[in-house]
Amino acid sequence: MDVHPSARRDRSDLGEFLRTRRGRVRPEDAGLTPVPTVRRVPGLRREEVAQLAGVSVDYYVRLERGRDVNVSEAVLDAIARALRLTDDERSHLNALARPVRRRPRPVPPQRVRPSVHRILETMGDNPAFVVGHRTDVLAANRMARALLTDFDALPYRDRNMARYIFLDEAARSLYADWETVARSSVSALHLYAGRHPHDPRLAELVGELSVRDQDFRRWWADHDVARRTHGSKRFHHPVVGDLTLNYDVLALTDDPDQLLGVYTAEPRSPAEEALRLLAAWTADPSDEKNPTTPYVR
């Protein structure tokens, strides 16, 4: 069975990912004795990775150069250990190394179930939203729209978290740690790209952000991947001021590419009071009578 031509791009992505990872591992960190010579590359050399992984140098070079190499799971595990990859990086490596032998299928549209919309609206003062393919915002409750931006009012293609973070100037003021949030968004897009490398709308999004924002262009080239499932974020909101919120991200079981994100405040904290003020500021009885129409993306 012939390999689809688009597989060549996958191999290129695999090679770029391997090069960036080995560039971040010092020989001494990998248990190698440093040789007192001038190193022309940062991190490990290709032959050092091959030695640590127990494969031939030629095999590893062909893999990194994007040649058509049938790589086994055992070899990928050995390379992952040699490069000291995180769990998310291991998953990404395995996704990039999958052979593509048939014309890829289109990414199916996503619909948020009405019951999930109802869950969002019962979150009270807690901002909550659903993010889908390529960080598209599929649904957001009233508090999420008040905290971040009114995604419902944006053009269809602009309802995207990465596009909002990088291209909306208000986002740079809203997030107190904008760079951390932005880099996390890039990492999430890279993870998605590993699972859906032939999504044309992803290619369009990455191309647009690369052209319009130099930070995105630089960070995309780093090939960092990480999955953020919980933590905290600091905001400087134009209405209620500074507040720190915890966040949790949960995958919906019937569609793992739909992620439910919820912000909460510590009990009896200034942030909790700020959310109450924000809720009062945005209160609109018509919201309950006219819930948001489900997005299909």
Fold adopted by 7-96: 434 Repressor (Amino-terminal Domain) (1.10.260)
Worst-scoring range by mean pLDDT, 27-41, 114-128, 161-175? 27-41
Residue carrying the six token digits 């050092």: 48
So what's the pLDDT on residue 3? 43
So what's the pLDDT on residue 104? 64
Indicate where the chain has its CATH 1.10.260.40 domain(s).
7-96
Average pLDDT over every residue of 57-75: 85
So what's the pLDDT on residue 2? 41
Average pLDDT over every residue of 101-105: 58
Average pLDDT, the chain: 88
So what's the pLDDT on residue 246? 98
The CA distance from 219 to 214, in Å, is 9
So what's the pLDDT on residue 284? 65
- Of the candidate CATH numbers 3.30.450.180, 3.40.50.410, 3.30.470.20, 3.40.50.300, the domain formed by 114-289 belongs to 3.30.450.180
pTM of the model: 0.85
Average pLDDT over every residue of 232-236: 97
| pLDDT classification of 88: cutoffs 50, 70, 90 | very high
What sections of 54-160 are H helices per DSSP?
57-64, 73-82, 87-96, 114-121, 142-147
Indicate where the chain has its CATH 3.30.450.180 domain(s).
114-289
**CB-based contacts of 221, cutoff 8 Å, min separation 6:** none
Residue carrying the six token digits 């439910």: 260
CB burial string 26-48: b at 16+ within 10 A, e below = ebeebeeeeeeeeeeeebbbbeb
Average pLDDT over every residue of 231-238: 97
**How far does CA 175 lie from the centroid of its chain?**
17
